């Protein structure tokens, strides 16, 4: 039995990743407690999810602070006040300042809907379809000062199909996001994540199967 880790979740929008974390906790599959959710958007549906599950949430907006760092100081104060050990960015559409990163070194995770380092930044499902990429996916990584550049913890791969639109691809990727984020947090809770430079190792994890995917599929001759 793993001791529960206290997490704080940062959101801006729908919060479906937050929901998958809540569901995994409620099913006893994730040894975490959500001590606080912080949204930078008062309209975020994620806040309704918090109300539905009795989770404390606050809105902290950069517009209400003179600059990004003072906004981040306010967020860190709330998180530390709640005893948060791991910060989980779940669709949080803002870059964190160096002050915030220093307050939680290698203790801030982010999820990104592409196979990093391909397609960092915004609107990446659209970019992957328009590029004509044959695979995309999602990445959980530690946050650093760059845009989607920190050490990678886990990735999932999905094919891009010929008729895909931004929305169909986003939905396919999101289903996998909802699996890999709770897994990464559980590894953290179990103290199994080792970071050396860019290399992240999960202690005691099985080797991945040496599968190769082709898209389009190879044809038998």
Q: Between residues 39 and 97, which has the closer beta carbon with respect to ligand GRF?
A: 39
Q: How far apart are CA 87 and CA 73, in angstroms?
A: 14
Beta partners for residue 9, in sequence order: 37, 88
Q: Between residues 145 and 194, which has the closer beta carbon with respect to ligand GRF?
A: 145
Q: How far apart are CA 15 and CA 137, in angstroms?
A: 18
Residue nearest to ligand GRF (CB): 91
Q: How far is the CB of 15 from ligand GRF (least distance, A)?
A: 5
Q: How far is the CB of 129 from ligand GRF (least distance, A)?
A: 14
The residue annotated as part of the active site, out of 112, 123, 141, 178, is 112
Q: Between residues 15 and 159, which has the closer beta carbon with respect to ligand GRF?
A: 15
Please give the backbone phi and psi of residue 200, each rounded to the nearest 5 degrees, phi first: -115, 125
Q: How far apart are CA 48 and CA 150, in angstroms?
A: 30
Beta partners for residue 199, in sequence order: 196
* 112 classed as catalytic: yes
Q: How far is the CB of 119 from ligand GRF (least distance, A)?
A: 11
CA torsion 26-27-28-33 (nearest 10°) is: -20
Q: How far is the CB of 140 from ligand GRF (least distance, A)?
A: 9
Beta partners for residue 204, in sequence order: none
Please give the backbone phi and psi of residue 152, each rounded to the nearest 5 degrees, phi first: -85, 130
Q: Between residues 45 and 99, which has the closer beta carbon with respect to ligand GRF?
A: 45
Contact residues: ligand GRF, CB under 6 A: 13-17, 90-91, 111-113, 174, 177
Residues annotated as catalytic (active site), given as ranges: 112
């Amino acid at each position: 039995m793993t001791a529960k880790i206290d997490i704080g979740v940062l959101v801006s929008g729908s919060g479906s990743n937050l929901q998958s974390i809540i569901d995994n906790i409620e099913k006893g599959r994730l040894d975490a407690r959500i001590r606080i959710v912080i949204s930078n958007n008062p309209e975020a549906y994620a806040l309704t999810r918090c109300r539905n599950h009795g989770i404390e949430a606050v809105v902290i907006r950069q517009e209400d602070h003179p600059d990004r760092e003072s906004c981040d100081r306010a967020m860190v104060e709330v998180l530390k006040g709640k005893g948060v050990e791991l910060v989980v960015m779940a669709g949080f559409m803002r870059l964190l300042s160096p002050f915030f990163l220093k307050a939680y070194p290698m203790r801030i995770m982010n999820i990104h809907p592409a196979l990093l380092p391909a397609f960092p930044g915004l609107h990446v499902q659209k970019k992957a379809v328009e590029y004509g990429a044959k695979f995309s996916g999602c990445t959980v990584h530690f946050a650093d000062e760059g845009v989607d550049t920190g050490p990678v913890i886990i990735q999932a791969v999905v094919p891009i199909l010929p008729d895909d639109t931004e929305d169909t691809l986003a939905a396919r990727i999101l289903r996998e996001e909802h699996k890999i984020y709770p897994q990464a947090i559980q590894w953290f809770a179990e103290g199994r994540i080792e970071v050396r430079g860019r290399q992240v190792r999960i202690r005691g994890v099985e080797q991945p199967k040496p599968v190769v995917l082709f898209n389009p599929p190879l044809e038998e001759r």
